Structure 1
Amino acid sequence: MKLGINLLCLTDFVTEDHLPVLRRLKALGYDGIEIPILSGEPDHYAWLGRQLAAIGLERCATAIVPTPDVSPIAADTETRARGRAHLNWALDCAIALGAQSLGGPMHAPIGHFTGSGPTESELNYGAEAHRDLAQRAENNGLFISLEPLNRFETYFLNTTTQCRNYALRVDHPAFRIMYDTFHANIEDGNQVAAFQTVAPHVGIVHVSENDRGIPGRGHIDFANIFKAIRASGYAGWLTLEAFGAGLPGIVAATRVWRPLFPDHETLFSESASFIRQTWAVAE
């Protein structure tokens, strides 16, 4: 197991000002960082990758589909083309970063709804775009980890059964699913069974409490979820995902209006201890 942390708890764009915090994360025992790619250019992420390598932190990355006009599943051909260009921009940045994976909800615009579930055409458009992206990722030594979201954030991928079926539809070895305990807590009745459903396709696990605060302080049954994850043979990233209050770039999507942890030091240290200790006894 590798212990990671998604930096959206801190910022939506990592700069030189954040390097002291990144050094602190390394000192606390984190193996790597999941970098949000919401803006910027590949040159910036190449610089950031060099900084993280010097600190001794491995890299993954996450991205989103920000608006309907860059949706890779849109009915309109030109919109889909812009969506594919957006996905390729995110992958360019991830490659420059030296990331092992590019993940996140890169399937449909967050917070945009049609009034029904995904159509067969949308599923096919998405699968085609993600298959091409996975091939390009594989050519550059990465894999894709697509993240489902709960029904209040997207209509495209919600349950682990949908994720399993979508992974089979994409059918590419570099295409995987990001399992997120927060979203599964809403959409799947039993997280042990849910993980078992999608286990062969999981690329990264997001460890996220029911309120998106510090893992172990809420009601998610991490002990049994971790047992199921270990039993599957998964030994990849366990990545903390928590959210601070009012980050301008993500507040509209996450609906985080209040502080979910007392301070970053408490979040970082308590979460690292909880995840490692819970994993160690999950046999």
Structure 2
Amino acid sequence: MQVGINLLCLAGFITEKHLPRIRQLKELGYDGVEVPVLTGDPAHYEWLGGQLDAIGLRRTSTSVTPSPDANPLSSDPEIRRRGIAHLDWIMECALALRSECVGGPFHAPIGHFTGSGPTADEIRHGADAHRRMAEQASANGIYLALEHLNRFETHFLNTMDQAKAYVDAVGHDAFTIMYDTFHANIEEQKQPRAIATIAGHVGVLHISENDRGIPGRGHIDFAEVFSAIRGTGYDGWVTLEAFGGGLPELAAATRVWRPLFPDYDTLFAESIDFIRRGWDAAA
């Protein structure tokens, strides 16, 4: 198991000014970071990868579909073409970063709804696009971990029943699911049952409290989450996701406009201790 942290708690675009905090993560014992790839170019992520190498941190990445005008699920061929081009950009930046995994909800625009659940055509278009992306990932020795979201953020992928069916539709070994405890807390009746449904297809485990603050301070039963995921044989990335005072890139979609932890020192230290103790206790 490797402990990571999603750097969206710092910013949507990681620059030199964030490096002191990232060095602190290494000192506290984090194995790696999950880098937001929302904007910028491959040259920037190549630079950042070099900085992370110097610090001694591994990395994964997280990306989104930013706009209905570049939606890989669309019935409009031109919009779908732009969506696939965006997926290519995600992959190019991740490779420049030397990311081990490309994660996040890069399936549908966050906060954009059609008025119904996913259609058969949307699933077909998405599976085609993500299979192509998985082939690119596999050819470069990395993998995908597509993130489900709750029903208030997307109509496309909400539950582990849907996620398992989508894994089957994509049908590629390099395609997995990023299981997120915050979203599952909303959509699943029992998280152990949900984890059993997607067993063998989890690529990243997101540890995110019910308020998206510090894990262990809310009401999610992480003991049962750790026990269930360890019971499947999972031994990959266990990545903290907590949000700060609101990210302009995501605030409108995720409704996060207030601080969800008192300070970075507390968030970083308390979270890694909670995750490592919880994981060990579930053995």
Match of 1:209, SS?
Answer: coil
Map of 1:96 onto structure 2: 96
Does 2:9 match 1:18?
A: no
Map of 1:259 onto structure 2: 259
> Which residue type is aligned with residue 270 of structure 2?
E
> Which residue type is aligned with residue 12 of structure 2?
D
Map of 2:271 onto structure 1: 271
Q: CA deviation at 1:157?
A: 0.2
Q: CA deviation at 1:142?
A: 1.1
Map of 1:60 onto structure 2: 60
Distance 1:34 1:188 in 2: 25
Map of 2:145 onto structure 1: 145
Distance 2:198 2:90 in 1: 25
Match of 1:233, SS?
Answer: coil
Match of 2:219, SS?
Answer: coil
- Output aligned runs, 1:32-71, within 5 Å: 32-71=32-71
Map of 1:232 onto structure 2: 232
Q: CA deviation at 1:246?
A: 2.0
Unaligned runs of 5+ residues in structure 2 are none
Unaligned runs of 5+ residues in structure 1 are none
CA shift digits 1:56-115 (9 cap, x unpaired): 000100000011000000010000000000011011000000000001000001000010
Distance 1:174 1:112 in 2: 27
Distance 2:148 2:68 in 1: 17
Match of 2:198, SS?
Answer: helix
Q: CA deviation at 1:245?
A: 1.3
Does 2:282 match 1:282?
A: yes
Q: CA deviation at 1:12?
A: 0.3
> Which residue type is aligned with residue 234 of structure 2?
Y
Give the conservation status (yes or no) of the 8 Å contact 1:245–1:251.
no
TM-score w.r.t. the length of structure 2 is 0.99
Structure 1 residue ranges (4+ consecutive) displaced by more than 2 angstroms after TM superposition: none
Match of 1:199, SS?
Answer: coil
Distance 1:199 1:36 in 2: 26
Question: Alignment length, in residue pairs?
Answer: 283
TM-score w.r.t. the length of structure 1 is 0.99
Match of 1:34, SS?
Answer: strand
Q: CA deviation at 1:254?
A: 1.5
Q: CA deviation at 1:141?
A: 1.2
Q: CA deviation at 1:249?
A: 1.3
Identity rate of aligned residues, in percent? 62
Distance 1:62 1:247 in 2: 15
